[in-house]
Structure 1
Amino acid sequence: MAGSSAADNYAGVFAGRLQPGTHPALLIVDVVTAYLMEGSPLYMDTAAAARDSNARLAAAARAAGVPVIFTNVSYQPGGADGGVFYRKAPVLKVFDEGSPLGAFPETLQPQPGDRVFTKQYPSAFFGTGLAEALHAEGIDTLLITGYSTSGCVRASALDAMQYGFVPLVVRDACADRHEAPHEANLFDLQAKYAEVIFEAEALGVIARARA
């Protein structure tokens, strides 16, 4: 509808709501040094605040017995296992095996009991075995965070829905290179695929989880 806001245009068309289940997990997507270190080609000035939100969520999840799952990205030298994605986005060479930019930040490290899935493509699910592991643990809901909102977070949230998990994207714990794609993708995820929630709401989901 010409002249209407996006919210007005979507009203009454995409209005469904998902309720979280009782067995959530926290999925932290690619919160690594490449996005946090000034001078890195992937640096985002919004990444540090999202990292800190993730640290609070991870601490709460561990205390409640909620699984904490990290993803990172690693490629064979020259991107031999990166396929079309690596060719489309040559900046991904920052994740060639052994690069310090692929490391987890000091304040958000996997702890004993956490799981790490290494990927080569945007979705946390593609080629990683994550869906099977979550189903085996009885997980029904994913709190999804990380970098970047318009890229790997979006891809992971979409796949989470397609694999039957309720996706809860935590806006405070996500970041992007620019506010426009960040907000546009959160808007579209909320409309069609997920629930977009704040950190405080995510902490409530964690607190209500069943062990």
Structure 2
Amino acid sequence: MDRMIAELRQSYPCGEARPLGLGRRPAVIVVDFIEGFTNPESPLGGSWDREIEHTASLLAGAREAGVPVVYTTVELRSADLERNLLYLKTPRIGALLEGSRWTGVDHRLPPRDDDVIVSKQHGSAFFGTALASQLQVMGVDTVLLAGCVTSGCVRASAVDAAQAGFRPGVVREAVGDRSPLANETNLIDIEQRYGDVLSLEQALAYLSTIDR
């Protein structure tokens, strides 16, 4: 895998990624760390214990800084399933119907009353939701991303964030994928094309500089 990663880095014509930089009005977006993906009893469950622990640290830093927190959940409507291409491609996500126990935020990352919870039916946190408008109303210019999976909903959210004018920062230790190779290659590509990839330490240091 190390050889493949090195070859991938060399394939970008611009060489080292140019830092985009972060703004002064961030929000933290926790993408799809819901029971349906994190609970081993779920048909979609994966092992994200370490990433969830790091996300909890990120959220603690955000709350200390008075930074808005957004959670996304996937909630499919049964009436729409036959028109939802994501469902037609991967019918297993039919477990995430509205009202299911699997659509709730992971119990280790409990939302507060003033947090924003975005219900979505597709990959990106922005597609088909009011998230961009909500962030604009809050004056947000930067999003720090945690969640799963890096090659799917996290990447889609980073791309759409950049396209909507929000500076994306993906927190490396707080995101994960079912494949380590997919995780690393997508982090590299996000950093080359759309935003910055930060360590948790860097993200927490950045949050500590934000004025309430």
Same fold (TM over 0.5): yes
Q: Decide whether the 8 Å contact of 2:8 with 2:185 is kept in 1.
A: no
- Structure 1 counterpart of 2:66, one-letter code: G
The DSSP-based 3-state class of the residue aligned with 1:167 is: strand
Q: Decide whether the 8 Å contact of 1:28 with 1:69 is kept in 2.
A: yes
Identity over aligned pairs, percent: 37
Give the structure 2 partner of residue 141 of structure 1: 142
* Paired residues for 1:158-169 under 5 Å: 158-169=159-170
Q: How many residues matched?
A: 208
CA distance in structure 2 between the aligned counterparts of 1:140 and 1:82, rounded to whole angstroms: 34
CA distance in structure 2 between the aligned counterparts of 1:30 and 1:122, rounded to whole angstroms: 9
Q: Decide whether the 8 Å contact of 2:168 with 2:194 is kept in 1.
A: yes
Q: Decide whether the 8 Å contact of 1:34 with 1:101 is kept in 2.
A: yes
The DSSP-based 3-state class of the residue aligned with 2:72 is: strand
2:36 to 30, 34, 37: 34
Deviations along 1:98-156, one digit per CA (max 9) or x if unpaired, are 22122212210111211101000000001111001111111111001101101000000
Structure 2 stretches lacking a partner, 5+ long = none
Structure 1 stretches lacking a partner, 5+ long = none
Cα distance change, pair 14–193 in 1 and its aligned pair in 2 (3 A): farther
Q: Decide whether the 8 Å contact of 1:79 with 1:86 is kept in 2.
A: no
- Structure 2 counterpart of 1:41, one-letter code: P
Cα distance change, pair 57–82 in 1 and its aligned pair in 2 (3 A): farther
- Structure 2 counterpart of 1:166, one-letter code: R
Once the 2 structures are TM-superposed, how far is the Cα of residue 82 of structure 1 from its aligned partner?
6.0
CA distance in structure 2 between the aligned counterparts of 1:136 and 1:103, rounded to whole angstroms: 25
- Structure 2 counterpart of 1:162, one-letter code: Q
* Paired residues for 1:119-134 under 5 Å: 119-134=120-135
Give the structure 1 partner of residue 97 of structure 2: 96
Give the structure 2 partner of residue 155 of structure 1: 156
TM-score, scaled to structure 2:
0.92
Cα distance change, pair 86–154 in 1 and its aligned pair in 2 (3 A): same
- Structure 1 counterpart of 2:31, one-letter code: V
CA distance in structure 1 between the aligned counterparts of 2:108 and 2:166, rounded to whole angstroms: 28
Structure 1 stretches of 4+ with a deviation exceeding 3 A read: 78-82
Give the structure 2 partner of residue 60 of structure 1: 61
* RMSD, aligned α-carbons: 1.8
